[in-house]
Structure 1
Amino acid sequence: MLRQIARVLDPLHPELYKPVIIMGMHRSGTSFLAEVLHRAGIHMGVKRDHNFEAFHFLSINQRAMWQAGGDWYKPVVPASEHFDKWTAEELFKIHFGLKGNGKYILYKLINKRWGWKDPRNTFTLPFWLNQFPQAKVIHLIRNGWDVALSLQKRNQKLGEVYKAEFDNPLAGFNLWNIYITKAFSYEYSNIHHVKYEDLMKKNSEEISRLENFLKVFLKKYIDHLASKPNVRSVRFPEEVRQNVWMKKFYDE
């Protein structure tokens, strides 16, 4: 408790304990959002993979899930003992690729903003909120059937992750339901939920809400990176149509 209070009151580097954490189901547009934030000045990691995930945080999340007997396609909430032990300061230095204390002190003085994206954050969030009690969390929501079809399509691409069960889109949809249900189970007050489709459509009201949450200008980067929304099939299986989250967000 004292350590957390010290972090909250740290006058030298308030941004150190306020990273932006992006969560949401795989294939929900989290890579897009991470690139938008990076271009807007919220550093998303000096070493990232093709999905815009910072290698270090991805590795920590992945190993914790493995240690807990899970994985991205069979997610669990790992206990604290399943995670690698790093201080906030060490994670910050690795995230920016800082060697020695000189640049670290400089980055403290100029209050560099930072964050990371990983769909696994949806389940590892309790650990990260203990480490960073003032974090800003963004949950990206995308139509569950579109996510399922995207997982199915990814299965057909060479070099991408392949899981045979996702050749059946209903399996992908059921996984989406697990992720979105978990994301909405948190009572942490500093979580902002936003629909991927609203960003793709450049919905000015939703973009303004996200900008106000982060206190950063995003519109020009969204305008530049957003692609034309896909034409969605309205013929969903009954299981999809009756899903509580689909009714809440996509009852069109």
Structure 2
Amino acid sequence: MLIISGMHSSGTSLVARYAQHIGYHMGFDPEKWVSTFYPTYEDPQFQQCSMEILDSMKWNEGPPRYFPRDVAPPSDGLIQKMRAILRRRRGEAWGFKEPANCFTMGFWLPELQRAGFRPAVLHVFRRPEEVINSMTRWRPELNSHDAATHDRVEAWWRVYNMAVIDRYWELRGTIPFAFVDVREVTALDARLCAWLGRSYSPIAPQMNNGQLQEAPEVELHPETVLIWNELSTLMQETLIANTA
């Protein structure tokens, strides 16, 4: 089964739509889960449960400089809710996508394994300039182009992506775990199919739905640049090298 992670506005909906196209069951009627403009492919059951996990961790998009790791496990009631969701899933060709997976996958993974599934993680990332541009255009509470708003979204970008990088190094070698730049998805569709163990099917241009728009370059925090470079290296090591 497949966990798709990635920050808001990083192209995870495009990748989830492609996963659905090549045979992954991404939920019931996934194209009905619509944001303002396009299907999000975020299963409401997993989404609600993940939000409850984040609430139990007292997480909010402040953001902190880093994601808190020393947090209490979910309550027994929340664990039972997670298990009830998983009992309704069958086989291995299914998955779920949710930005909160960047932070909650550490709680989902043991429950998935307990239920007999073999989880794989695909983390989708996107250039920080494009994420900043997208979020400040489409999220009403961020509808501003001032420097403070840009800095705030850029800080989120670092926190989301570093949480997954940290999780990768923690889990390295124990489960399939790959990184992909959403701008490279079309060029790498054959490699994605190989990594996922699916028969090759090209990604159709209409799957984009015009979601991915380029953005002008902006000056980035040095830490952002370092994280971007690490994400690019991890894509090479986990996806490209493993499917050569």
TM range (shorter): 0.7 to 0.9
* One-letter amino acid of the counterpart of residue 34, structure 1: A
1:241 and 1:247 in contact (8 A); partners too: no
CA distance in 1, matches of 2:224, 2:93: 41
**Which SS does the other structure have where 1:139 is aligned?**
strand
- 1:211 deviation in Å? 1.2
Say which one has the larger Rg: 1
The correspondence for 1:80, drawn from 66, 73, 76, is: 73
Mark the CA change 1:239 to 1:47 in structure 2 (over 3 Å): closer, same or farther.
same
**Structure 1 runs of 4+ with >6 Å offset:** 164-167
Mark the CA change 1:92 to 1:218 in structure 2 (over 3 Å): closer, same or farther.
farther
After TM superposition, list the pairs within 5 Å mapping 1:44-123 onto structure 2: 44-46=26-28, 48=30, 49-50=33-34, 51-71=40-60, 74=63, 76=68, 79-82=72-75, 84-86=78-80, 90-94=84-88, 111=91, 113-123=93-103
**Aligned residues with identical type, % of pairs:** 19
- 1:172 deviation in Å? 0.6
- 1:67 deviation in Å? 1.7
The correspondence for 1:191, drawn from 149, 153, 177, is: 177
Q: Which runs of 5+ in 2 are unaligned?
A: 35-39, 233-244
- 135-144 or 40-49, which deviates more: 40-49
CA distance in 2, matches of 1:244, 1:164: 27
Give 1:124's aligned residue. Answer: 104
2:129 and 2:215 in contact (8 A); partners too: no
CA distance in 1, matches of 2:48, 2:194: 31
The correspondence for 1:155, drawn from 124, 139, 157, is: 139
CA distance in 2, matches of 1:233, 1:47: 36
**Which SS does the other structure have where 2:166 is aligned?**
coil
Q: Please report the TM-score for the alignment, with normalisation by the length of structure 1.
A: 0.71
CA distance in 2, matches of 1:221, 1:238: 31
Cα offsets for 1:177-225 (capped at 9, x unmatched)? 11111111123232110110001xx21xx22221122111354344441
Q: Which runs of 5+ in 1 are unaligned?
A: 1-18, 96-107, 157-161
Cα offsets for 1:134-158 (capped at 9, x unmatched)? 20100001001111111101124xx
- 1:41 deviation in Å? 1.6
CA distance in 2, matches of 1:148, 1:80: 32
CA distance in 1, matches of 2:163, 2:96: 19
The Cα RMSD (Å) is 3.0
Mark the CA change 1:125 to 1:40 in structure 2 (over 3 Å): closer, same or farther.
same
| Number of aligned positions between the proteins | 209
The correspondence for 2:155, drawn from 169, 174, 191, is: 174
* One-letter amino acid of the counterpart of residue 66, structure 1: D
CA distance in 1, matches of 2:61, 2:95: 20
Mark the CA change 1:117 to 1:227 in structure 2 (over 3 Å): closer, same or farther.
same
